[in-house]
Structure 1
Amino acid sequence: MRWLAFLLFALVLVSACAPAVPPLVLPQDCPRDHELGSLQEKQWLQQKAVWRLHQTMLLETRFRKLAMQGFLRLDLKTGQGRLVAMNEVGLVLFDLTFTADDTEVHRVIPPLQKRPQMLATVGRNLRRIFLLAAASSDAEPTDIGSHRVLTRTVDDITRTGLFDCRGDLRESRTRGKDTNWRVLYNRYAEHEKWRLPQEIILNDQRDNIRLSLEVHEVKLEP
């Protein structure tokens, strides 16, 4: 049964570093039509809402890859998300909750019980993508053509958010002595009057980890 569990788990071992994040391509055909305050109002991650996202996920580290289907309930009212991850045949790999500070694992298959750091990595990077990317009201704005960068430094950690001329958050980056990660938000589309990215790529340069999300379905809870 152990070999069957590993087969269903579909954990692929590789002997390569995580691939580099593709370059950020920004639109050049639109004038900026937003001000600093409206950036926060337009961002879906800033709303006190509950989203349900169905997405394909690929976690890549130095030595392994893990592909999975992710069903995420993102509660921005309480600042937490719950992810149920499955493989291609519907086997639940793990079930976890993440907040801005912590990750709690509710269920996990036996092969992953031996890899607690992998689950911690998933929770930490989902936190970065969905809970730490919001624009700060006291961030310092800088204009680059029709695009805008918001920068905030606290305790020697610098967080930046790059918004394109349409007002979409396209890049979130955090740098410090012990941290260096970047998230790209690509291919925005309309959902329930909000614009959401269909592709999200996180790259942790310090730990050489990449997490890629392809969003297939979006629902807004009433």
Structure 2
Amino acid sequence: MILKNKGQIGPRFLVYLIGLLVMSLGIVLLIMADIGATPWDVLHVGLYYQLGLTIGSWSIVVGILILTIAALISKEFPQVGAFLNMVLIGLFIDLYLLLPFMQTPNALGGKIAMFSFGIVTYCYGMGLYISAQLGAGPRDSLMIALTAKTGWKVRNVRALMEVIVLAIGWQLGGPVFWGTVVLSLLVGPTVGVALPQCQALTDRFLAKLKDDKEIYLNRMLKEKNRGAS
């Protein structure tokens, strides 16, 4: 059961931002591994090939469209975190790609290692930022809206989304390799495992901060009372 977190905006935003940074790193690791990007990034790269701009820019543009669809399905106005997600993910992707040491390994073993680490990083980054409950990003908002609408499991909804997007990106000339197929099959189940784990971790973090704050306030109150007496 996922508890609704209220208040503690600062700590929750910190968790949210770290999650976006981790997820963006996972996306870039998968792209640079050069054996298959995520279906969404196949689409973004395909649009980049056809129309220019940057991969991060297309992530933002596509995000706006997807967020609109998710809002229509759920009949709820997106949270501010969803809008921040569109901008920050695109920005982080482009910044990571500019790092001089972010290079594709020469050996196949190195590529597979980078690819594998990228999958884990991507999924746990996603789980971490969703756990902050400041609003899921466009793609995850659509996943959550479709899950609530259909009653299907998260992994099944995610898998269907990935296959559809992959087909469109492939038609646009995006980089489809065997790793892309692996991603389409593994992302859904991995997110299904990562999300409750990240939620539990975030809940414990927020609870500890709340307890520490109460202890501090009680201590200050006692000192104040002693001073008054």
Larger radius of gyration: 2
If asked which structure has higher relative contact order (CA below 8 Å, sep 6+), I would say: 2
> TM-score higher than 0.5 here?
no
The normalised TM-score by structure 2 is 0.29
The normalised TM-score by structure 1 is 0.30
- Give the number of the structure whose residues are more often strand, by fraction: 1
